[in-house]
Structure 1
């Protein structure tokens, strides 16, 4: 069969949880993230495309076009081309590597887009901050930790509350999320939209909704090897950040929808 789709995400919205579940469904391909900077650096080494000056934070390729071709080949599973992208990855690759990740879709017909977002921006912000500090981006069932190859050499830090860092993170996430809107408008397409909260509450129902959108059969059993990372630390930091957003007056400058999603009075 021929099927092409993109999971259009922002950091910490459950995209790996969703994509791993889809990857276990026959005929749904294997939507993976190919353009995160640490992953580019790691895969470039695996594929003999890593430039000498490449680092996890600033990957460099000897042949960016060859990397794009390799991704296109790897992302295609039996005629199903599936991938996951964050909008900031698209912009960064364009600006720094001279390649457009969306070019992977060139020549494909009837491309489907799944927009995944998180309604609670404060919890998303805290999750993003904690992941960036601890370098634990995914927790796999049975392991209790991340074992992604590209992060094995990353140096973890100790999280500490910092209002300014969290505010910068929130603003960056809002910009990344908004970046998808002009893209969909340009293509005159309406993506299938799913929230983290819906996914977290009902994995099977969420995945089956996506499968129906893709024209694939519903599944009676849906599983994902990814487990929730949220702990009391997330909740404590979120509560403090929410309170400080109000007391600082920063929240007053936010649009009404963002204020609602921060959990403060509109």
Structure 2
């Protein structure tokens, strides 16, 4: 059994859903996006950290908050967030730094095979500010108030497709460079069978669930997502 694990993801891959499922087992830590810099001050207040704290004090507090009684800590890092985390931990080898603060750490790579659907979901969330429904006490990306109806934007979707592909390549390069063999979780598999997918991650961590799996996050995709996908595909064909 490892000391820690990091869920390595890009937006709109079902990573928040997976975090909640792992949390619900009672043995998979309390994984959250603890290291997202815009939320650091809010987490620090929640944990009662003194002003002027050292960053490693923040990481230590995150470990306390994110660890279940069996000793496993979990957290999520998006591509880009991991680079900032490593920079703030100090100079040194990437994996050595992570092991220094997280102990025996394993990696869960969450990705979405349908990149267009991912980009559409991302574009819609950007416009509405609604990154998830439900939740488990998250600080970042919470449900927002009504910001009006989202508007189809083919240019933005194209930009996000390029961003997703860049970030996916970034994660793959990070794993290869550091000789890391993560457990891979496809959004499509998680969506089709949450129980089997979560149990596969738990097996990778060497633990078995002590509580029934509970999905704290609700599915957001609806007919609007399908409509945008079809419109984007039609526009791409017409432009080719």
Count of aligned residue pairs for this structure pair? 234
Query: TM-score if structure 2 supplies the norm length?
Result: 0.82
Determine the structure 2 residue equivalent to 1:134: 128
**CA RMSD in angstroms, aligned pairs only:** 3.1
List alignment gaps of at least 5 residues for structure 1.
52-60, 250-266
Instruction: Show CA shifts across 1:213-264 (max 9, x none).
Output: 1111267942211110011111111111122233334xxxxxxxxxxxxxxx
Q: SS of the counterpart of 1:114?
A: strand
How many Å separate the matches in 2 of 1:147 and 1:22?
A: 14
Q: SS of the counterpart of 2:21?
A: helix
Structure 1 pair 29–152 and aligned structure 2 pair: CA distance change class (3 A): closer
Q: How does 1:107-126 map to 2 (within 5 A)?
A: 107-126=101-120
- The partner residue of 2:226 within 231, 235, 260 is 235
Q: How does 1:136-175 map to 2 (within 5 A)?
A: 136-140=130-134, 149-150=139-140, 156=147, 158-175=149-166
Structure 1 pair 216–120 and aligned structure 2 pair: CA distance change class (3 A): same
Structure 1 pair 168–62 and aligned structure 2 pair: CA distance change class (3 A): farther
Q: SS of the counterpart of 1:240?
A: helix
List alignment gaps of at least 5 residues for structure 2.
none
Structure 1 pair 183–161 and aligned structure 2 pair: CA distance change class (3 A): same
Determine the structure 2 residue equivalent to 1:91: 83
Q: How does 1:1-266 map to 2 (within 5 A)?
A: 3-46=3-46, 63-78=54-69, 79-92=71-84, 98-99=88-89, 103=97, 105-140=99-134, 149-150=139-140, 156=147, 158-217=149-208, 221-249=212-240
Aligned-pair CA distance for 1:206: 0.6
Aligned-pair CA distance for 1:210: 1.0
Instruction: Show CA shifts across 1:55-109 (max 9, x none).
Output: xxxxxx87544433332332333321111111122235567xx457985542544
Q: SS of the counterpart of 2:165?
A: helix
Aligned-pair CA distance for 1:168: 1.0
Query: TM-score if structure 1 supplies the norm length?
Result: 0.75
Structure 1 pair 219–50 and aligned structure 2 pair: CA distance change class (3 A): closer
Q: SS of the counterpart of 1:76?
A: coil
